[in-house]
Chains A and B, each alone.
Chain A
Amino acid sequence: MLDKYAANPGDRDNLPESARDAEENRCALGGAEAMQGMPNNPDCADASLPAEPGETLITLSCRINGQPVTAEVPPSRRLLTVLREEFGLTGTKRSCELGRCGACMVLIDGRPVNSCLTMAYQCEGAGITTIEGLSGGGLHPVQQAFLEEGGFQCGYCTPGMVISVVALLSENPKPAPEEVEEALSGNLCRCTGYGGIMRAVNKAIEKGVG
């Protein structure tokens, strides 16, 4: 199953943890001399491993944006992929895929979670809210604040950022600036320098979103 990762020690950092463990052992046996005929190993885009022939799919039952849903998925498939590919919820963005940037953030039972680090099987019975689910009855006040204050530029980090702010304010409606920084330091934005985001968050706090 993991053979395809074996030959290129240089790429170990990109492997899912399980594969990396297996890789450690293989590399110790001397992957480095294999110069000729070396099977290559691309960077790993999707932490979900290919379903082996006959691999059992699980039936994932959960609620997404309030709707009960079921899907047949490999147990190791990430929530990020399930949302984007199975349900077409592309507002949840793919960026670093290792839980650093927050572009894929969703609420699971009200808590902000990186969907790239969440396996499908972990979501059984859960209530998942994506960016699309926030604005069911018109704009969520946090979205409204981002819109008015210009808390976005390219917009790619915005869904995750908005999700984080919603989670923060529902827990702590009047956070201190340090608490805002803490809550949003898992959401990277490359465009704004965070100025517009800070103004949007302050606006949402002022308006009493929580």
Chain B
Amino acid sequence: MLLSRESSGGRWRTRPDGMEKVTGTLQYLTDMSAEGMLTGRVLRSHQAHARILALRTEKAAAVPGVHAVITHEDVPGLNGFGIALPHQPVFCEDRVRHTGDAIAAVAADSDEIAEYALSLIEVDYELLPVITDPEEAMKEDSVLLHPEGNLLHHTEYRKGNPADAFAGCAYVAEETYFTPRQMHTYMETEGGLFIPEDNGRLTVYSATQHGLMDRKQLSRILAMPEESIRVVSSPIGGSFGGKDELNVQPYGALLALRTGKPVRLHNSRAESVRAGLKRHPMKIAMKTGCDKDGRLMAHQVRIVSDTGAYATLGTEVLNFATEHVMGPYMIEHMEIEGFCIYTNNGVSGEFRGFGGNQAIFAIEGQIDRLAEAAGIDPWEMRLRNLRRYGDPGPLGQPIVQTHGAMQVWEALAAIPLMAERKNGPGRDARDPWTVTGVGSAIAMHGAGLGYGIPDPAGGRLCLALDGKIEAVFGYEEFGQGLIATMEQMLIEQYGFDAGDLRIIIGDTDVVPDSGSSTASRATSMMWMALRRLHPDFTARLAEAAESASGGVSGLTPGPGGMWKEGKLILSYADLARTLNEPIVCETVFHYPTTPHERVGAHFLYTYSSIAVKVEVNLLTGRVRIVDQYHAVAAGPVANPQGYLGQIEGGSGMAVGFTLTEDALMNAGSYVTKNLDTYIIPTIADMSGIQVEAIEDLPEHDTYGPRGVGEIGSVNLAPAVASAIFQAVGKRVTRLPIEPEFLQETPFIPQKAVNANVG
């Protein structure tokens, strides 16, 4: 079904958080203020790599209006953070490893005073060699950035005998692909309000994708019990993976506890660029071979990923990339190796697609090259190698079987744009410098955190004493529409009316551990949780209603209350009045995982195919994407507006990844510091996108709707590269695609030169 408001009928709903968003009344956590609050600011290293010889804060502390200046000496607990490996210093003590490293923080009466105080903090540095190239960092004689070396993580996957298999290949493609340091560019920069409470507790109002993880990390840093910290973490002005890790929270928390006053921090865009995470730049070298009929026989891959100064989720992202470099193809002989390397660059971390975007760009490029060599239509080439129902996962692991890969392949094969592709490049005689081409690509993408990683799920339903049906989950709303999807599921699965509901998320004092709102997992987990809760919660409601209504049995929940035979018998409010305690049902479970014992290996996958039409302007070298068609197989559509929005939005982000976005660094400092030079797509860069949702799942499938937060962003780049090749015959190996690469020297000046010579 092509998704649209019209095709969705009554399932297209107004978002519950919409009214506050369109009227500007929604209070984001960076909009909050408190009586007597101070402004916090962080001093960041302006050396990419140096020893700290001395640090003098006295002058700053003496400024009138400054309430606290804190450094590493003021961290009561662990001076480190990191979801997977907590080794990024809250405050650097004796060494800085990138220009985002924090050295001190100030709380003052105003932003101006805080900024002035920061300028008075003196740091003596002894400069160390700055390592910006991961491959330099891998050399044996390189300076070590961490005691354990510069290699954060190494991956390997071997199958069959690639060396022999290559010898038997009719065609071999060898290429090295480069992907950019993409920035999340959430419109709301990091920040929040930190309030030391009278009872000794601390309340943190600051965005994250997993409130309970922030609480755990803060507990370690502050040496405070987790129960003494309340993290309120939604609503959020965009995240895309970028706010999952701690950012301003340690500084706000420490300053609030030190001063005993509320402290607000809100990063400037420049500081957000400097200290915030980016997508891992990867260099992916591939050698891939096929037989004369285009059947893939051997695949050799080497991934080098730049994690910057610290780990955060560099290991996990590399695991993901390693699992996705073979795409949805069955290849008998493979040798894959990955390296995640520390450098003095900005820290790379979690970002929508999670290493898939880089891997899929590379493997799809290989298929196109081999198809050309073998003289086979590139879409046909994919079909010959595509996984079928029953095939094991990319690492040989058992996975949830669907027909997704074939479904998206077939869906795309049937569209007019793919028929147009057969016509070859398009030229318009009136505009000879513009050439068009059509290209396509396919992807499978894992969801959930993968084998061996705690991936809890669960939630709570409750009939509260005021008659509201409460749904309480530990998830976060950063724009994706999670609250709207939850509301829609409650209405469709239980028959409630929107007005019956109170959805509570993003507050560690009240939510159960539902796991993180990451990895395209929350939609699946909400759906499964509500399914698990359904028998018990509806039975408990019916039981209570029977007793409250004087013995009417067989009542079922519906809009406004409990119903029987098409009639409302008892409202939820009336039912609640008869209760002494709320009716509470809770479920605790785990994201489904493959039994295959390989850390990070996935069990649930979604599938996507994309066709695009591009215009390449040969004079400017600019590429315009004029048409896009996405076919997505991710199970039933839980929320049509949300689904469409995720694919369109993911695609927008991928347009930037492909054409314009790269947070450039020079000698460890960001050169692109703000949105004047870091160019994300505007409305003028986006064309209409058609999204076909393939909802069919095998009959026995019990996993329901899959999340679509990432799948829309992972395979646009190779489709564009393919279209560019059709248009101008050039193979793209490096993203974003530089205009210079596509510019052609006009023949007229050439002629003029010749004439002059003559």
User: Could you list which residues of chain A lie within 8 angstroms of chain B, going by C-beta atoms?
Assistant: 4-5, 7-8, 10-11, 13-14, 35-46, 48-51, 84, 88, 90-98, 100-101, 103, 130-132, 134-135, 139, 143-144, 146-159, 162, 180-182, 184-185, 187-199
List of A residues within 8 angstroms of B266 by Cβ: 45, 94
List of B residues within 8 angstroms of A101 by Cβ: 187, 675
Pick from B12, B112, B274: contact of A43, CB under 8 Å: B274
Interface stretch, picked from B142-150, B466-474, B648-656, is: B648-656
Pick from B121, B267, B480: contact of A40, CB under 8 Å: B121
A97-B268 Cα distance, complex, nearest whole Å:
8
B689 at the interface (CB under 8 A from A): yes
List of B residues within 8 angstroms of A150 by Cβ: 12, 15, 18, 641, 644-645
Whole-angstrom distance between the Cβ of A81 and the nearest chain B Cβ? 9
Contact A153 B649, beta carbon cutoff 8 Å: yes
Contact A195 B648, beta carbon cutoff 8 Å: yes
List of B residues within 8 angstroms of A192 by Cβ: 645, 648-649, 652
Contact B43 A42, beta carbon cutoff 8 Å: yes
Pick from B118, B125, B481: contact of A38, CB under 8 Å: B125
B305 at the interface (CB under 8 A from A): no
Contact B683 A132, beta carbon cutoff 8 Å: no
Closest B residue to A159 using CB positions:
B24
Q: Which 9 A-B pairs have the closest CB atoms?
A: A91-B24, A154-B479, A193-B652, A155-B21, A156-B237, A131-B24, A50-B112, A43-B270, A153-B479
Closest A residue to B667 using CB positions:
A10
Interface stretch, picked from B25-33, B436-444, B743-751, is: B25-33
List of A residues within 8 angstroms of B480 by Cβ: 153
Contact A143 B122, beta carbon cutoff 8 Å: no
Contact B24 A92, beta carbon cutoff 8 Å: yes
Contact B112 A42, beta carbon cutoff 8 Å: no
B199 at the interface (CB under 8 A from A): no
Whole-angstrom distance between the Cβ of B150 and the nearest chain A Cβ? 25
Q: Mark B666-699, 1 if CB is under 8 A from A, else 0.
A: 0001000111100011111010110000000000
Contact A45 B652, beta carbon cutoff 8 Å: no
A51-B674 Cα distance, complex, nearest whole Å:
26
List of A residues within 8 angstroms of B28 by Cβ: 90, 156
Contact B25 A132, beta carbon cutoff 8 Å: yes
List of B residues within 8 angstroms of A143 by Cβ: 22-23
Whole-angstrom distance between the Cβ of A54 and the nearest chain B Cβ? 14
List of B residues within 8 angstroms of A184 by Cβ: 682-683
A39-B121 Cα distance, complex, nearest whole Å:
6
- CB within 8 Å of A: which B717-737 residues: none
A151-B43 Cα distance, complex, nearest whole Å:
38
User: Could you list which residues of chain B lie within 8 angstroms of chain A, going by C-beta atoms?
Assistant: 5, 12, 14-15, 17-28, 30-31, 33, 41-44, 46, 53, 56, 99, 103, 110-113, 115-116, 118-125, 127, 184-189, 235-238, 240, 266-271, 274, 478-481, 641, 644-645, 648-653, 655, 669, 673-676, 680-684, 686, 688-689
A-B contact pairs, 28 of them (CB 8 A): A14-B268, A14-B673, A14-B674, A38-B124, A39-B122, A40-B43, A41-B46, A42-B119, A44-B115, A45-B267, A50-B112, A91-B25, A95-B675, A96-B676, A150-B645, A153-B238, A153-B479, A153-B481, A154-B188, A154-B479, A155-B26, A157-B187, A181-B684, A182-B684, A190-B238, A191-B187, A194-B648, A194-B683
Whole-angstrom distance between the Cβ of A66 and the nearest chain B Cβ? 16
Given the interface pairs A101-B675, A195-B645, the reply to whether A155 lies near B268 with Cβ below 8 Å is no
Given the interface pairs A35-B125, A45-B271, A199-B5, the reply to whether A185 lies near B683 with Cβ below 8 Å is yes
List of A residues within 8 angstroms of B124 by Cβ: 35-38
List of A residues within 8 angstroms of B122 by Cβ: 37-40
List of B residues within 8 angstroms of A187 by Cβ: 682-683
List of A residues within 8 angstroms of B271 by Cβ: 42-43, 45
Contact B188 A14, beta carbon cutoff 8 Å: no
Contact A190 B115, beta carbon cutoff 8 Å: no
List of A residues within 8 angstroms of B19 by Cβ: 139, 147
Contact A42 B118, beta carbon cutoff 8 Å: yes
Closest A residue to B272 using CB positions:
A43
A144-B122 Cα distance, complex, nearest whole Å:
53
List of A residues within 8 angstroms of B676 by Cβ: 96, 98, 100
Whole-angstrom distance between the Cβ of B626 and the nearest chain A Cβ? 13
Closest B residue to A100 using CB positions:
B675
Given the interface pairs A36-B124, A38-B123, the reply to whether A139 lies near B23 with Cβ below 8 Å is yes
Contact B42 A42, beta carbon cutoff 8 Å: yes
Whole-angstrom distance between the Cβ of A42 and the nearest chain B Cβ? 5
Pick from A39, A51, A193: contact of B119, CB under 8 Å: A39
Closest A residue to B646 using CB positions:
A153
Apart from A14-B674, A190-B184, 14 more pairs, CB < 8 Å: A4-B119, A35-B124, A36-B124, A37-B123, A42-B271, A50-B110, A96-B676, A139-B19, A152-B22, A153-B480, A154-B186, A154-B478, A185-B684, A191-B479
Contact B644 A93, beta carbon cutoff 8 Å: no
Whole-angstrom distance between the Cβ of A82 and the nearest chain B Cβ? 14
Whole-angstrom distance between the Cβ of A94 and the nearest chain B Cβ? 7
Closest A residue to B12 using CB positions:
A150
A40-B103 Cα distance, complex, nearest whole Å:
10
Contact B5 A162, beta carbon cutoff 8 Å: no
Contact A49 B112, beta carbon cutoff 8 Å: yes
Contact A158 B116, beta carbon cutoff 8 Å: no
Closest B residue to A85 using CB positions:
B33
List of A residues within 8 angstroms of B27 by Cβ: 90
A98-B676 Cα distance, complex, nearest whole Å:
8
List of A residues within 8 angstroms of B268 by Cβ: 14, 43-46, 97
Contact B675 A98, beta carbon cutoff 8 Å: yes
Pick from A14, A50, A130: contact of B24, CB under 8 Å: A130
List of B residues within 8 angstroms of A193 by Cβ: 645, 648-653, 655, 681, 686, 689
Closest A residue to B669 using CB positions:
A10
List of B residues within 8 angstroms of A188 by Cβ: 185, 187, 675, 680, 682
Contact B652 A98, beta carbon cutoff 8 Å: no
List of A residues within 8 angstroms of B682 by Cβ: 181, 184-185, 187-188, 194
Whole-angstrom distance between the Cβ of B622 and the nearest chain A Cβ? 15
Whole-angstrom distance between the Cβ of A137 and the nearest chain B Cβ? 12
List of B residues within 8 angstroms of A51 by Cβ: 112
Whole-angstrom distance between the Cβ of B208 and the nearest chain A Cβ? 14
List of A residues within 8 angstroms of B31 by Cβ: 84, 90
List of A residues within 8 angstroms of B236 by Cβ: 154
Closest B residue to A153 using CB positions:
B479
Closest A residue to B4 using CB positions:
A199
Pick from B121, B274, B479, B689: contact of A155, CB under 8 Å: B479
| Residue among B43, B119, B480, B650 with max Cβ neighbours from chain A (10 Å) | B119
Pick from A11, A46, A103, A153: contact of B645, CB under 8 Å: A153
List of A residues within 8 angstroms of B673 by Cβ: 13-14, 43
List of A residues within 8 angstroms of B240 by Cβ: 190
Pick from B5, B116, B641: contact of A4, CB under 8 Å: B116
A4-B114 Cα distance, complex, nearest whole Å:
12
Whole-angstrom distance between the Cβ of B98 and the nearest chain A Cβ? 13
List of B residues within 8 angstroms of A154 by Cβ: 186-188, 235-238, 478-479
A194-B652 Cα distance, complex, nearest whole Å:
8
Whole-angstrom distance between the Cβ of A83 and the nearest chain B Cβ? 11
Contact A45 B686, beta carbon cutoff 8 Å: no
Closest A residue to B19 using CB positions:
A147
Contact B269 A156, beta carbon cutoff 8 Å: no
Whole-angstrom distance between the Cβ of A201 and the nearest chain B Cβ? 9
Closest B residue to A133 using CB positions:
B24
Whole-angstrom distance between the Cβ of B223 and the nearest chain A Cβ? 27
Whole-angstrom distance between the Cβ of A39 and the nearest chain B Cβ? 5
List of A residues within 8 angstroms of B479 by Cβ: 152-156, 191
Whole-angstrom distance between the Cβ of A25 and the nearest chain B Cβ? 18
| Residue among A42, A88, A182, A188 with max Cβ neighbours from chain B (10 Å) | A42
A185-B679 Cα distance, complex, nearest whole Å:
12
A144-B118 Cα distance, complex, nearest whole Å:
45
List of A residues within 8 angstroms of B185 by Cβ: 188, 190
A133-B271 Cα distance, complex, nearest whole Å:
31
Contact B24 A180, beta carbon cutoff 8 Å: no
